[in-house]
Amino acid sequence: MMNRLALLSALVAIVLPSVAQEVEITSQRRLLEGIEGPAFYPVLNSAGDRLLFCTEKGALKLYDLADDVTTVVTEDFVAGNDASFGSDGKVYFVTQRVGEDNLVYRTGQSFDAATRQVDVVTPTRHGAMRVKPAEQGSAAWTEGSRVHVTVDGQERVFSPVDSWAGYLWASLSPDGKRVAFFAAGKGIVVIDLRGQVLAMLGNYEVPCWYNNDYLVAQNAKDDGHQFTSSQLLLLKADGTWKAELTRPASMAMHPTCGGGKIVYTTIDGLLYEMKINIYQ
């Protein structure tokens, strides 16, 4: 009996260090302090050197982190989830306005940072709209309780989990092999390109891929009327591990990742950049 216990203890001693993980925040800084007002819905490009954000009035701006220069993309109102970087380097977004008939009209547009030219991608119309993913290369997006994935011009549509209120915040992993999205009532789901569920990461929101193995997400709580807390979590993509990046009282939300950076905003619209090291 003692020999078996000794053997078990030895095995545990060998196994535990191999699965233990830690995350270290190596830097954290405020962005655009004293330069811009409140900023919401940040979106980093894959290189992590350009950032989109919406102003308090809904205008869209582009911030070059390397040059420390901010450019106005459009003064028109832009819905927060309808701005993104395309694989061609352009910015794609949807503006909206209320017509004289009190109906909401939307227009899909693109912005070239090099020429500062804005082009209409999808003509103005009444009703829901998003910029066609074909304009952006490989992409993932949601529509109701369906997740769409476009890879090399071919579109696939999946409904891997039941969700009465639908899906949100779909994105491809950097290597293009997996998709993460939020399913209402279920939380964050990771699937492969055949629509097979690989992992369920918990009831968190706004997932973004930090790299091929980890995601950053928002863990927000409310009382039915307003947020009571919100924090950022680091989640392993296979669902085996998670860690706090901020405390619940930080009111940190809407994380976005690119180039080894994490950018997020607070409920008051304060932008922060964070860098981390993951030890395994």
Element (H, E) at 109: strand 104-112
Query: What strand order describes the sheet that includes 261-266?
Result: 22-30, 271-279, 261-266, 252-258
Q: Report how far apart, in Å, the C-alpha atoms of 60 and of each of 52, 109, 114, 173, 227 are.
A: 7, 12, 17, 25, 24
Contact 166, 149 (CB under 8 A): no
Measure the CA–CA gap between 220 and 226, rounded to whole angstroms. 10
Measure the CA–CA gap between 199 and 192, rounded to whole angstroms. 10
Question: Is pTM, for the whole model, over 0.75?
Answer: yes
DSSP string, 173-215: -TTSSEEEEEETTTEEEEEETT--EEEEEES-EEEEESSSSEE
Q: Within 13 Å, how many C-alpha atoms sit on residue 78's CB side?
A: 30
Element (H, E) at 143: strand 139-143
Measure the CA–CA gap between 36 and 57, rounded to whole angstroms. 12
Q: What three-state secondary structure class fits 53?
A: strand
Measure the CA–CA gap between 210 and 213, rounded to whole angstroms. 8
The per-residue pLDDT for 139 is 83
The per-residue pLDDT for 6 is 43
| DSSP designation for 124 | E
Contact 43, 84 (CB under 8 A): yes
The per-residue pLDDT for 79 is 77
Measure the CA–CA gap between 273 and 246, rounded to whole angstroms. 12
| DSSP designation for 9 | H
Could you list the pLDDT tens digit for every one of the 280 residues in the chain?
Answer: 444 434 333 333 333 344 558 999 999 999 999 899 999 999 999 999 999 999 999 999 999 999 999 999 999 999 766 788 988 889 999 999 998 898 999 999 999 999 999 999 889 998 777 765 445 567 888 989 999 998 877 899 999 999 888 999 999 999 999 999 999 999 999 999 999 999 999 999 999 999 999 999 999 999 988 999 999 999 999 999 999 999 999 999 999 999 999 999 999 999 999 999 999 7
Contact 248, 219 (CB under 8 A): yes
- The identity of residue 70, as a single letter, is T
**Which of 208, 215, 211 minimizes the C-alpha distance to 239?**
215
- The identity of residue 279, as a single letter, is Y
Contacts of 194 (CB under 8 A, 6+ apart): none
The per-residue pLDDT for 128 is 77
Measure the CA–CA gap between 113 and 262, rounded to whole angstroms. 22
The per-residue pLDDT for 5 is 39
The per-residue pLDDT for 81 is 67
